[in-house]
Each structure stands twice: as structure tokens, then as C-alpha cells.
């Protein structure tokens, strides 16, 4: 009887351990999936931005990292001399240490970002910083379900026209998500519009038609 009870208890312990092990594997897989960026980016800047996103999710610092990088991106735009210095491939080891220290202070002294800047320095990738920030911003927009829309026109569009275009885009197959619409003016397109919706480009500009016509004429000669 005692042997039977001992065997029964042993089987229960083994079964419970197996179930716990399976639960742990499932939880680990779920955590890994949740830390994965919502979109796949290419290029070195995309790889670094994706790695930073994953690390930030795991440390529950996503909002903090986004705000810090946004501030840093604005600073680099306002101070082109700093951006040029960071992008200089001939800077020595001491200068790199100074850059990493300065970047860490500019982003609030966060350890995760400090380690990330140091990684870029060691790998001679500090020149990618602005592009990494832009790629990280793309990931965050995708996570929030936002779609960036750039409408390029030869002359500024009034608010009524922009609202009408936004409404049409929202009803189309490209309008899945919250649209972030901006109007870019480029007289070189002569007329018409160029719509950039996420990664999709719809070119209905006059310059595009002229170029197409010129190409047809060139091919015919």
C-alpha cells in the first residue's frame, strides 16, 4: 500500500513538473514574440533599431527610449556640427569615449541607451545614429498602428483639400491605421500629386507623365 501511494505521488510530481516546464516554455515563447518588432526593417540601421526595440521591451523602457531618441534626433538636426563630428570615421578612441558619454547625458543617463551607444562606438557605427533613430520611429509608429502619409504637391494644399484626400486614403486599401498626413511642397513635380503611404508610392504628378512620355519618344527613335 505504501509503495502504491509513493508511486502515485511520484507520478503526480513528475506530471506537475512536466506541466510547469511546458508552461515555462510557452511563457518564454510568448515573451519573445511580444518583444519582436511589429515590422521587419532592412539594412544595418534597421537591424540596430530592431535590436534596441527588443531590448527596450524586455526592460520595460520602450516609452523612455522613444522619448530619449526623439530628443536626440531633434538635437542632431539643430546641431549639424555635432552630427558631422559623430559621423567622422577618423575619430580616435578618446573622442569616441567622449561622444558616448555626451550622448548618454543627452538621453538622461539611461544604462540601456548608454550600452547601446557604446556598442555603436565599438562597431564604428556611430555615423548610423540618425538613421537608427528614424528606423526606431518607424517601428514605434507601426506598433501604434500609425501610417505616415506624405502628399507632395507643386504648391501648398489647403486644409479642405488635405482633409478630402485623407478621407479617400482612409477608405482605400492603404488606409489601415491612423493616418499621419503631411503636405510636402516640391515645384519640380509641375503639377498633380505624389502620394507616399507607408512603403507605397503613388506617382500621379505631371513631371512623371512628362518623363514617361519622353521615355516613350526616346525608345521609339
- pLDDT 10s digits, 178-192: 899 999 999 999 998
The confidence score (pLDDT) of residue 30 equals 46
Distance from the Cα of residue 1 to its chain's centroid: 65
Check the CA dihedral 114-92-76-50 and report its sign: negative
The confidence score (pLDDT) of residue 130 equals 92
Question: Which stretches of the chain score pLDDT less than 50?
Answer: 2, 4-5, 9-10, 13, 17-18, 20-21, 23-31
Could you say which of 3.40.50.300, 1.20.210.10, 3.40.50.10150, 1.10.520.20 is the CATH number of the domain covering 44-141?
Answer: 1.10.520.20
Q: What letter would DSSP give residue 194?
A: E
C-alpha cell at 170: 482612409
Please tell me the pTM assigned to this model.
Answer: 0.68
Contacts of 72 (CB under 8 A, 6+ apart): 103, 106, 107, 129, 133
The confidence score (pLDDT) of residue 67 equals 94
Amino acid at each position: 500500500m505504501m509503495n502504491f501511494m509513493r508511486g502515485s505521488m511520484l507520478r503526480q510530481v513528475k506530471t506537475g513538473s512536466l506541466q510547469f516546464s511546458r508552461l515555462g516554455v510557452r511563457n518564454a515563447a510568448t515573451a519573445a514574440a511580444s518583444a519582436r518588432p511589429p515590422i521587419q526593417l532592412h539594412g544595418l540601421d534597421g537591424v540596430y533599431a530592431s535590436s534596441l526595440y527588443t531590448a527596450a521591451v524586455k526592460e520595460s523602457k520602450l516609452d523612455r527610449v522613444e522619448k530619449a531618441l526623439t530628443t536626440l534626433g531633434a538635437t542632431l538636426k539643430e546641431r549639424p556640427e555635432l552630427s558631422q563630428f559623430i559621423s567622422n570615421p577618423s575619430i580616435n578612441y578618446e573622442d569616441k569615449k567622449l561622444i558616448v558619454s555626451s550622448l548618454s547625458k543627452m538621453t538622461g543617463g539611461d544604462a540601456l541607451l548608454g550600452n547601446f551607444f557604446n556598442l555603436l562606438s565599438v562597431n564604428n557605427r556611430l555615423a548610423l545614429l540618425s538613421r537608427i533613430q528614424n528606423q526606431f520611429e518607424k517601428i514605434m509608429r507601426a506598433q501604434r498602428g500609425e501610417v505616415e502619409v506624405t502628399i507632395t504637391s507643386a504648391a501648398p494644399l489647403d486644409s479642405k483639400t488635405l482633409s478630402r484626400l485623407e478621407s479617400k486614403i482612409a477608405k482605400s486599401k492603404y488606409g489601415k491605421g491612423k493616418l499621419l498626413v503631411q503636405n510636402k511642397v516640391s515645384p519640380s513635380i509641375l503639377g498633380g500629386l505624389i502620394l507616399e503611404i507607408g512603403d507605397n508610392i503613388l506617382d500621379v504628378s505631371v513631371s512623371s507623365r512628362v518623363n514617361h512620355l519622353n521615355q516613350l519618344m526616346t525608345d521609339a527613335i
